[in-house]
Structure formats: C-alpha cells, structure tokens
Amino acid sequence: MSGTRQTSPHVVSLAGQAPSFEGPKGTVRHVDADTLPILKRLSIRHLLLDRGGLREPHWHANAHELTYCVRGKALVTIGTNHAGRESFLVGPGEMFFAPSGSLHAIQNVGDETAEFVLAFTHERPEDFGLRASFGAMTPSVLGNTFDAPASSFAALSTIASGKAAPEILAFGAAPEIEPQARHVATLKYSAEATPAQIASPAGSAHVTKSALWPVLEDIAMFSVRITDRGMREPHWHPETAEMGYVLEGRARMTILDPDGSIDTYEIGPGDVYFIPRAYPHHIEDIGTGTFHVLIFFDRANPGDIGFRTLVGLFSRDVLAATFGIDEPDLPQFPLVEQDPLIVDRINPVDPTH
C-alpha cells in the first residue's frame, strides 16, 4: 500500500503516516485533526492484524466507530449497555459498528494478515484500553468488585495505568468461536454483498446507511467504484462532510472553497481526503482500471445535490443571467428528476499538469 504525495489542505496519505502503534502482531496508522487540520466530526485509522493478533478490548469515549474489513477473517466481540453482547465473524467487504463507549475487541482468526479501515465520528477520538483501566484500580478495589480478596488481584497491580491507549496483543490458543458468531448480528453489515444501489458500466455504489442498517448513528459509508468509463458528477452534500479512503486506482478531484480558490489534486491507494459540508466537488477516474474508494459521511443518512438535476430548478433565462451569456448560447441541458451520481465519461480526460 503506497500513498501519493500531496500539498492540498484537503488530502493526506494515511499509508505514509508513521505507525501510531507497531508491534510483532500488527500496526495502527491514523489521520486525525492533528495530521489533517481541516477534519471535523470524522477521522480515520488503518489497522493490520497479523495471524494471532488481538486488538485489545477497548472503547472510544467520544466517537462511534464504523469499520470495513478489506481482507482476512476476524472475530469481533462488542459489549454494550446493560451487559449486552454480540460476537461475530467478519470477512472482506463486511463491516461492524461499535457505538461510542462500547467495549470491543478484534481477533485475527484466519491464516493471513487481516486489514481494516476504521472511521470515527470525531476528529480526535479518545481511547481507553481494558488493561490500563484495570491497572488504574487497586487490588482492594478490584477485590471488592469481584467478591474476592485483594491478593487475588496482586498480579494485576503491576499493570501500568499511565497509558490508556489500547495495544495489539498476541494470543496463543486458537480462539473459541461460538456458533452464534456465524449468524446474523445487529452490529454487523455485509456491505459488498448487499445489492448495489447504483450499478452501470460507469460505476457502482454499495450503500451503508441507517435506512438500510438502523443501528448506525452519525456516520454512513458508500463503497464506490468508478470505471475508466465513468465519473462522479460534480455535487455537494448539504448536511454532511465527506471523508474518503482510496483502496485502489487513481482519480482526480476538484473542490471549490468559499474564498473562490479551486483545489485540484490526484489521489491513489492509501490516500485520505476530506470535503467540508456543502463544498462542491467531483471525482474522476484517471487510471487504467477501476477506482475504488470508501466514502464516509458524518450523518447516518447522507444526501446530495448534483449538477445534473440542479439546472432543472431554474428557467433558461435565469441560468443565462447567472452565467452571463445569451440564452441561445446555453447548452441544451437534459432534464432529469433523479441524479445518476455516476455518469458516463464521453469526453477525453483533461490533461494532467
């Protein structure tokens, strides 16, 4: 996985970041507002778990987590309010949702490295690990909690409590996989197995939002593929920001900022971009194959306004006055009632600079 070098304030290489955690069983890289200051209400991490790796049980104090499995197989266990519990397997193209404050762990139960993309509903997520949390309490406090003498917890008293961040640990024995872990779970969603809401030779979109997965709060994800015959039409999202992570291919984006500046840049595997709420932008495949991007939103049911339909809102004389040209010189805009989102690219790609 290799990212591109960028100077745009809207994009950064997640793949190029130094690991925030690195150990024998895996690595974590992250992009938050310290790395990409424009971020707001969203941030992202990349997790690799080697065979036998365990992402320590942990929780996020100020953010929901929405995770996409890129490859491998893992057992996810999540504890929620009032001793609620779900344990399930995830594989490529599947997702899980960990509500803010829920205790959760990820175990690699396959024979290969497992890879995940994790999005959060805060630009600076706060983490607590289970090990450090126990280490913050004295043996007597723990003994009282579990109806046991303090001496039973002497070994835990050596745990350092000064670091709350969870780690990637190793577990020796093969994990126990309960029969229920292979069944439907409310906090799991098969994003890529769900029929694409948009599908054409120009591209496709597998949509993950609360209208389809009701447990989601303050976050959604679209798995978008744009072929070399397609383009994501210029558009904006009235009520949501957009954060994308590139899995494969190359594309070009253009964003208009409120000060009138135009930011055009290229993105490739491992890159993360961020579009603030209601900023107009577009995405165009400039590679030789399909461009695949995971797009996260800070709303559970994001909406958008596309150029294709907006011209139908106004009369041609209003449009002519807006663009400062004579009405006969206006293009013959097609009138449509629903945005196609991904359109056919019938013109050559503009030259790169």
Instruction: List the structure tokens of 151.
Output: 């001496």
In the CATH hierarchy, which top-level class contains the domain 190-344?
Answer: mainly beta
Q: Amino acid identity, residue 122?
A: H
Q: What is the pLDDT along the chain (353 residues), one digit of tens a residue?
A: 344 445 899 999 999 999 999 999 999 999 999 999 999 999 999 999 999 999 999 999 999 999 999 999 999 999 999 999 999 999 999 999 999 999 999 999 999 999 999 999 999 999 999 988 888 888 999 999 999 999 999 888 667 555 667 789 998 767 777 777 677 799 999 999 999 999 999 999 999 999 999 999 999 999 999 999 999 999 999 999 999 999 999 999 999 999 999 999 999 999 999 999 999 999 999 988 999 999 999 999 999 999 999 999 999 999 999 999 999 999 999 888 888 889 999 998 888 65
Number of H helices, E strands in the chain: 4, 26
| Closest to 167 in 3D by CA, of 213, 131, 221 | 131
The CATH number given to 11-187 is: 2.60.120.10
- Most distant CA pair in the chain: distance in Å? 89
* C-alpha to C-alpha distance for 20 and 31, rounded to whole angstroms: 10
Establish whether domains 11-187 and 190-344 are of one fold: yes
Res 7: pLDDT: 80
**Domain range list for the chain:** 11-187, 190-344
Res 163: pLDDT: 65
| DSSP-assigned beta bridge partners for residue 69 | 116
**DSSP-H helix ranges across the chain:** 130-135, 139-145, 307-310, 316-323
